[in-house]
Amino acid sequence: MNTFSYTPSEHELEKASNSYLMSLVALIAGMPLPIINLVATFFFYVGNRRGTYFVRWHCIQALLSQLSLLFMNSFGFWWTVSILFGPETISNKYLAYIISVFLFNIIELIATIYSAIQVRKGHHVSWWFYGDITQIICKPKL
Amino acid sequence: MKKLILQIAVLIAVFFAVFTLSKQINWMKLFKVDKLTKSTEDKLGDLIWKSYSATITEETNYVVINAIDSIVNKICTANDIDSSTIKIHIIQKDEVNAFALPGNHLAIYTGLLQDCDNADEVAGVIAHELAHMQKNHVMKKLIKEIGMGAIISLTSGNSGTVSEILHLLTSSAYDRKLETEADITGVDYLMNAEINPEGLAQFLFRMATTEKDMPKAIYWISTHPESEERAKDIMARIRVSKKKNFTKSADQDWAIVKKELDKE
């Protein structure tokens, strides 16, 4: 948890916190498609790309955190599809992969909920790796 | 930038480390996947057999049934296969055909029995089909052709694809890799049971020749292509094994079996 370059307003805190909640939208809707989370977060970012620095910063961090999961989840998703409708069979390797992906999703889920709560309280949360990329991409002025 | 690249590398490394560690755990056993698959296969087999048995007549002649039972038992006992799990069906049909269905159903047409010159040839075909069962080729073929989703939907009450599966298993070939594996395993089964495996090669050779001359429906050959090459492979396998002494399986009885079949 770091301090931000300025103290964001109540309105900004709400919007920034919502960017994390958007990434949970697919999970709440029970959608198995891995791209839905990313699309939801992306559209939220597009809607707020002209927002304040604090809002944009957290929108980008929420968006980036979805990217690595997208690759993992997509691979798992198509592997599952090929088992259900194709020539693949359930193997220990497949189960190990799905469990690993599930573990990473859980970690990301906890981190997302934690960030949403902390940001809403006015604390600036910068994730390891994703926070650093966000810092490079997101500049104070448009 | 260097820091970011390092972080990406760490992230990927952590994922693969978790994945590798996860692979060390036997999830298949933990989630009882094999048991579930077996129960699905049994359900599917019974469903298919129920549908198929309504369209055919099973052989009731005890001489024929006992002869086949004794060959199956001999092969099973010698290869640690539980013969009580094999459901043998001798079907009255002129076509030269034999096939394995899910759930260890083994179907043999009387046309094939009449076409065999001796019990070793019958044992060869049976060993080949048993190998398909034991190596899980039946389910592998089904999963490849129609997918696991359709199989699960079928066993949970959707009966739409039973005829499609039946057609697939009775009149279409396994791929060459699976056929070769079934041939090799079948030969090993026969040798373990002290039955001369040349019977299978002889049967394939004869079928390959007959196929060229006769328009008769020889289904076993149409579902088991490239028989001549496979017969040669089987002979090569026998030569490599250096095993020479085989007790003739039930040869002395085969003339009697054929006589019984001819009566019908």
Write the DSSP symbol of residue B49.
H
Please report which helix (H) or strand (E) contains residue B239, including its range. Answer: helix B227-241
Query: Strand pairing of B105-109 and B87-91?
Result: parallel
Q: What is the pLDDT of residues B19-75, one digit of tens each?
A: 999 999 998 888 888 777 788 888 888 888 888 888 899 988 899 999 999 999 999
Option in B4, B147, B149 nearest A132 (CB): B4
The distance of A27 to chain B (nearest Cα, Å) reads 22
Q: Which residues of B touch A79 (CB under 8 A)?
A: none
What angle is formed at CA A12 by the lines to CA A6 and CA A13, rounded to 5 degrees? 90
Measured CA to CA, the distance from residue B58 to residue B145 in angstroms comes to 28
Cβ B102 vs Cβ B141: under 8 Å: no
How far away is chain B from the Cα of A42, in angstroms, using its nearest Cα?
A: 22
The two structure tokens encoding residue B167:
């057609």
* Residue B252 reports pLDDT greater than 70: no
Residues of A in contact with B147 (CB under 8 A): 84-86
CB A104 within 8 A of CB A72: yes
CA–CA separation, B255 vs B29, rounded Å?
Answer: 48
A29 touches chain B (CB under 8 A): no
For chains A and B, count residue pairs whose Cβ atoms are closer than 8 Å: 60
Break chain B into its structural domains and give their ranges.
Answer: 1-31, 32-263
Angle, CA of B32, B38 and B42, to the nearest 5°: 145
Q: Give A20-74 pLDDT, tens digit per residue.
A: 888 777 666 655 566 777 777 787 778 777 888 888 898 888 888 888 788 888 8
| CA neighbor of B94 nearest in space, from B237, B261, B246 | B261
Distance from CA of B179 to the nearest CA of A (A): 17
Supply the pTM of this predicted model: 0.67
- Taking the Cβ of residue A75 and every Cβ of chain B, the question of whether any pair is shorter than 8 Å is answered with no
φ/ψ of residue B210, rounded to 5: -60, -35
Residue A31 in contact with partner chain B when CB distance is under 8 A: no
Residues near B102 by beta carbon (within 8 Å), at least 6 away in sequence = B41, B42, B44, B45, B48, B138, B139, B142, B169
Domain total in chain A: 1
Predicted pLDDT of residue A19: 84
The verdict on residue A4 lying in a domain is no
Instruction: Report the helix count and the strand count for chain B, using DSSP H and E.
Output: 14, 3
Q: Which residue of B has its CA nearest to A83?
A: B148
DSSP letter assigned to residue B65: H
Query: Is residue B81 pLDDT above 90, yes or no?
Result: yes
Alpha carbon distances (Å) from B203 to A87, B56, B118: 32, 25, 10
CA–CA distances in Å: residue B80 to residues A117, B74, B88, B130, B230 = 62, 10, 18, 12, 26
User: What is the DSSP-derived secondary structure letter of residue B173?
Assistant: P
A99 contact residues in B (CB cutoff 8 A): 22, 27
Cβ A104–B18 below 8 Å, yes or no? yes
- Note whether residue A142 is domain-resident: no
Query: What's the gap between Cα A19 and its chain centre?
Result: 9
Task: Inform me whether the pLDDT recorded for B221 exceeds 80.
Answer: no
Predicted local distance difference test score (pLDDT) of residue A45:
77
Pair B76, B86: CB distance under 8 Å:
yes
A83, A103, A136 member nearest B148 (Cβ)? A83
Q: Is A106 on the interface with B (CB under 8 A)?
A: no
Q: Is residue A38 part of a domain?
A: yes
Hey, are the CB atoms on B27 and A87 less than 8 Å from each other?
A: no
- Of B204, B210, B244, nearest to B224 (Cα)? B204
Q: Does the beta carbon of B140 lie under 8 angstroms from any beta carbon of chain A?
A: yes
Q: Stretch B79-86: mean pLDDT, rounded?
A: 93
Q: Determine the average pLDDT of the residues in B229-258.
A: 75
Tokens for A10? 């109540």
Q: Which two tokens stand for residue A56?
A: 């944009």
What rounded mean pLDDT belongs to chain B? Answer: 83
- Chain B positions touching A90 (Cβ under 8 A) are 28, 33, 37, 148
Classify strands B98-101 and B105-109 as parallel, antiparallel or unpaired.
antiparallel
Q: Does A132 touch chain B (CB under 8 A)?
A: yes
Confirm whether A2 is domain-assigned: no
Alpha-carbon distance of A54 to A140, in angstroms, equals: 8
pLDDT beyond 60 at B101? yes
- By residue range, what is the domain housing residue A20? 10-137
Distance CA A44, CA A48 (A): 6
pLDDT at B249 over 70: no
DSSP 3-state assignment of A60? helix
Position B16 confidence tier, pLDDT thresholds 50, 70, 90: very high
Describe the strand order of the beta sheet including B98-101 as a list of residue ranges: B87-91, B105-109, B98-101
